[in-house]
């Protein structure tokens, strides 16, 4: 199980990222300032650092420079609201492994985290199953009773979220946050629309509506 250090001083974003990563099997720690982020990142206790640039006390660029100057090789994915070319170049030249401009969708962040940890996660489960439904996380393919089903990127991420929590009721707000991102309109009916898409492709009986609460993947 990979350990991710989240250095983010905005509580809403930190909670959104932490909740999503934990739901996908990661162990997380959140810090809100640069000095603490630097000290924990170089402790050897973490496998990856998600680093916000706008940290108090010591900004992300300074944290990154300090870590690389000390030859700390922890993979770093920079999170920032700054989207200029100069900031992107500064982050990458400073030793960042990847760059994620805000606002972002969780599925994009998760893909980048998995990519940076690929060398350390060989034992991670790559196929999720529930009854005769299987999702291959490497090939991004779905199999229903031996039949390959084409899913869009968003449909696949929604299906993956359900398969990681079989039998568990997931609120619309949870699904919206995990699949569409923290900046998406909470009043949107997009979750209901995509659940209908999945039911058509995977079987109407597979995803159950729990009135007033959300949806549940029926576990055999």
Q: What is the per-residue pLDDT across 25-65, written as a single tens digit (0 to 9) for each?
A: 899 999 999 999 999 998 888 999 999 988 999 998 899 99
Question: Percent of the chain at pLDDT above 70?
Answer: 87
Q: What pTM was computed for the model?
A: 0.59
14 contacts 36 by C-beta, under 8 angstroms: no
Alpha helices, DSSP H, located in the chain: 11-23, 34-41, 60-69, 85-93, 106-116, 153-163, 172-175, 190-202
Last residue of a domain, one of 89, 120, 151: 120
Q: Looking at the structure, do residues 9 and 105 belong to the same domain, yes or no?
A: yes
Domain of 103, in residue numbers: 3-120
Last residue of a domain, one of 98, 120, 142: 120
Q: Looking at the structure, do residues 11 and 88 belong to the same domain, yes or no?
A: yes
Q: Which helix (H) or strand (E) holds 7?
A: strand 3-7
């Amino acid at each position: 199980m990979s350990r991710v250090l989240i250095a983010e001083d905005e509580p809403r974003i930190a909670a959104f990222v932490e909740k999503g990563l934990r739901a996908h099997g990661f162990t997380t720690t959140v810090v809100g300032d640069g000095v603490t982020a630097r000290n924990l990142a170089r402790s050897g206790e973490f496998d990856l650092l998600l680093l916000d640039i706008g940290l108090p006390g010591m900004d992300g660029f300074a944290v990154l420079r300090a870590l690389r100057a000390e030859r700390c090789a922890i993979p770093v994915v920079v999170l920032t609201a700054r989207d200029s070319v100069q900031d992107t170049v500064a982050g990458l030249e400073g030793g960042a492994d990847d760059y994620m401009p805000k606002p972002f969708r969780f599925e994009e962040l998760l893909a980048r985290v998995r990519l940076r940890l690929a060398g350390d996660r060989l034992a991670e489960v790559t196929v999720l199953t529930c009854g005769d439904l299987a999702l291959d996380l490497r090939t991004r393919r779905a199999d229903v009773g031996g039949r390959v089903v084409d899913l869009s990127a968003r449909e696949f991420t929604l299906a993956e979220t359900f398969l990681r929590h079989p039998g568990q009721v997931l609120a619309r707000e949870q699904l919206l946050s995990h699949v569409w991102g923290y900046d998406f309109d909470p009043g949107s009916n997009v979750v209901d629309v995509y659940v209908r898409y999945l039911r058509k492709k995977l079987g109407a009986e597979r995803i159950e509506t729990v009135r007033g609460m959300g949806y549940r993947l029926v576990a055999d």
